[in-house]
Structure 1
């Protein structure tokens, strides 16, 4: 009997693993074969023009109001004290992780101002900006109001005001700059270039591989990133910035840190340069900074070489536009292409996925609810045969605990990945423990089935007693089967393919 149970359990586990593997989509990113040829490790931009270095001037800051359509935001202006003549200016465009000028670009704006560049960091407009809905064209129009405000400030040369975009700002700045002479130059730092959904999948893949997650977990990337999120929205994840990059004719400074795991640091600038060529724009400069992260920081501090080059490039324009060498800095490395993300099949899309999971949990919860009601009503007797009750409870509880453990594991792994940390005990040990929970749950289900069959062979002994018992048995088993299939979809069971 034990041999039969063990063999059947192994077969069911393998079958669930196979179901999870073939239920699609799979995940097999293509290795990147293109490279960026770096001329020299020295990022210095030398065009024979003397400019003010960082730290030359004292900096004065003030807060101004920026009027937008139907809304106002505040912005911090940083000005160099004692700087002679009209000065160049830079407006900063936020990435996805920032929204207030108190928190964003504080070091950048101060450093540039101390070199003689007037800077303006506006608050991001948050009344129309959510995780579910982001309108990049509208955001570009809002940021252009800040550009106009800076151009009108005393002491600023209106013909030398440009924009600096970082991360998500790399999708917004080209919208601002395309066919727009009021934007004198652009600085794109950690620009994704590829559509947001592709960049998200690439970033998740990079983070998870870096902390050493099991390969079977990687296949969940397109199943999560590629699906339509419950409740709709997220149309911006398909935004294509390339048509706007192909209409940018301003000088462009492109910067990446080689420690940036979130961005395709080879593929993105190659595509950006190709798009600028379509625009007939040869005024671009590309710099890579060794070990700098997504925010151009090394060990928490803003990269000094980056700030030095940025301040010099802005001040030396137009001489620094397209200065040789075009590409300099540390050698970048990108393992895989940030390619299109395949969508899950119909049964694993957004709302249907949520409905099926909720229905499954409710079905499993039928047993405890009916038991509690019977206790309150003081109904005598039991609903299940003696040998059926324990494996049924283990099956239902095991499914719930397995899913709860999966959620905790994924959140823990995400926290480790975002903080560039890893732990073999957590990443590998946690995954092994999660799979053992799944196996134990399957074992309980197999024992339950055999006990029901054995009861029937012994003269038709019913597994459930009464209508309530039959409902509890059917709903618990049905809900458990659906939860086990869902767990298989997310990779809990090992696949032999």
Structure 2
């Protein structure tokens, strides 16, 4: 009897591995499509829940960047398991880049995809809506405001302000959260961002979402992570609450910008925040008629407007100053190959030129990297400064000291020198004189 029981147990245990798995209720199928956006075509994928009945459907509108379907597949699968047909498409590459984009065009693309979704036999056309993440939180509402056929709108990590104000906030938030303080914060998050915005390097910088939000007539579900570091969640929720006529606004305490789980808000864990997919599924099925909103999450850093550039701050002036500085210090070094133009032993002028050139070139590279790559590791901090920034500040102080020493010794060192040596010395001193106000402006000579 015992032997029979053991044999039966072994057979049953083996069956767990040898028999095909049972079908799950949340299985879904995918269908590849091609969307005709007018000037271009783009691939798309439809995620379909099981069952013959027509289901609610949603078009997923991308955040910023290239916007390939693979980035959002996890969301589409989660929605399909909630009984929602999800249409996911690759964002256009024609007319969209780091320096070029048109939210109106992107909204029209979303409406084109929406028309395809509503026509699918798997979808109930009266229950089809739009979902937009991040930048999609600007374009999806714009698309919804243009069509009464859009039955509902869902936004995740949407912004209530202009792209320029949001981007400046994100840069400042990251620096402050990482422990950076002092002049570096204002130099990068304020002066650096003002140069980018007001010199036309940031497309759609002044797009105002508020008029569009006020025109919405669809039920709108707004979702934010309390640890969002790219969108000001507290301010954005308040803007939606005050301007969207029909709203349900929810905050996930452990969520980051894209509704994934996070610890600090800067890293994205693989899984979605618990309850997110269930919230979307139940809300789409019910479409509540009464408004409701969670309390706005706390923000340590608030957004601030970017002041216009003064005449002496413009991009042309900045480029001209940098060009003069590089030419002055580099020219001094190269002209030293002419023996009769060199100063006597003990001169500090060559150190002045070398230190100044190191600061100017290092600053150009470092600030560019900080502003173009939001994921650039800051590394260890000393006195609230990153090591590269602290190094440039130390060198800037050294430049001032070397400048004073060079001025004091110029008369003695150039006694009996020819015209070439005197011109060369005048060039490096002029460069040093220009370097000082430039370094003050960019915070390199400020605490």
2: CA distance, partners of 1:406 / 1:233: 19
2: CA distance, partners of 1:216 / 1:453: 36
Cross-structure match for 1:308: 278
Q: What are the superposed Cα offsets for residues 189-244 of structure 1, whole Å, 9 maximum, x if unpaired?
A: 11111001111111111111111112222222221212356974535101111111
Cross-structure match for 1:394: 351
Deviation at 1:155, TM superposition (A): 1.3
Confirm or deny that 1:436 pairs with 2:404. no
Deviation at 1:406, TM superposition (A): 3.6
2: CA distance, partners of 1:476 / 1:443: 14
Mapping of residues 359-370 of structure 1, within 5 Å: 359-370=324-335
Deviation at 1:321, TM superposition (A): 4.2
Mapping of residues 166-205 of structure 1, within 5 Å: 166-205=133-172
Cross-structure match for 1:476: 428
Q: Is the deviation greater in 62-71 or in 468-477?
A: 468-477
Confirm or deny that 1:451 pairs with 2:409. yes
Aligned counterpart in structure 2 of residue 286 of structure 1, from 246, 249, 261: 249
How big is the alpha-carbon RMSD for the aligned residues of Structure 1 and Structure 2?
2.6
2: CA distance, partners of 1:159 / 1:137: 24
Size of the aligned set, in residue pairs, is 415
Mapping of residues 241-390 of structure 1, within 5 Å: 241-276=209-244, 281=245, 283-299=246-262, 300=269, 301-317=271-287, 320-322=288-290, 326-328=292-294, 332-372=297-337, 374=338, 381-387=339-345, 390=347
- Residues 241, 249 of structure 2: 8 Å contact kept: no
Deviation at 1:453, TM superposition (A): 3.7
- Residues 34, 44 of structure 2: 8 Å contact kept: yes
Confirm or deny that 1:140 pairs with 2:140. no
Distance 1:455 1:404, change over 3 A: closer
Q: What are the superposed Cα offsets for residues 155-175 of structure 1, whole Å, 9 maximum, x if unpaired?
A: 111111111111111111121
Deviation at 1:96, TM superposition (A): 1.1
2: CA distance, partners of 1:105 / 1:223: 34
Cross-structure match for 2:26: 57
1: CA distance, partners of 2:427 / 2:217: 64
Structure 1 gaps, min length 5: 1-54, 375-380
1: CA distance, partners of 2:74 / 2:376: 21
Q: What are the superposed Cα offsets for residues 286-328 of structure 1, whole Å, 9 maximum, x if unpaired?
A: 11101211111114121121111112211223xx3436xx224
Mapping of residues 30-179 of structure 1, within 5 Å: 56-81=25-50, 83-102=51-70, 104-179=71-146
- Residues 259, 290 of structure 1: 8 Å contact kept: yes
Deviation at 1:398, TM superposition (A): 0.4
Give TM-score, length-normalised by structure 1: 0.77
- Residues 328, 428 of structure 2: 8 Å contact kept: yes
- Residues 164, 186 of structure 1: 8 Å contact kept: yes
- Residues 77, 119 of structure 1: 8 Å contact kept: yes
- Residues 56, 115 of structure 1: 8 Å contact kept: no
Confirm or deny that 1:494 pairs with 2:409. no
Structure 2 gaps, min length 5: 1-23, 263-268
Distance 1:285 1:419, change over 3 A: farther
- Residues 223, 344 of structure 1: 8 Å contact kept: no
2: CA distance, partners of 1:152 / 1:485: 63
Distance 1:77 1:426, change over 3 A: farther
Give TM-score, length-normalised by structure 2: 0.85
2: CA distance, partners of 1:293 / 1:423: 24
Q: What are the superposed Cα offsets for residues 19-44 of structure 1, whole Å, 9 maximum, x if unpaired?
A: xxxxxxxxxxxxxxxxxxxxxxxxxx
2: CA distance, partners of 1:417 / 1:70: 32
2: CA distance, partners of 1:217 / 1:108: 38
Report SS of the residue matched to 1:266. helix
Q: What are the superposed Cα offsets for residues 43-65 of structure 1, whole Å, 9 maximum, x if unpaired?
A: xxxxxxxxxxxx74211112211
Distance 1:118 1:153, change over 3 A: same
Report SS of the residue matched to 1:365. helix
- Residues 387, 451 of structure 1: 8 Å contact kept: no
Q: What are the superposed Cα offsets for residues 384-408 of structure 1, whole Å, 9 maximum, x if unpaired?
A: 33157x4111111101212344456
Report SS of the residue matched to 1:286. strand
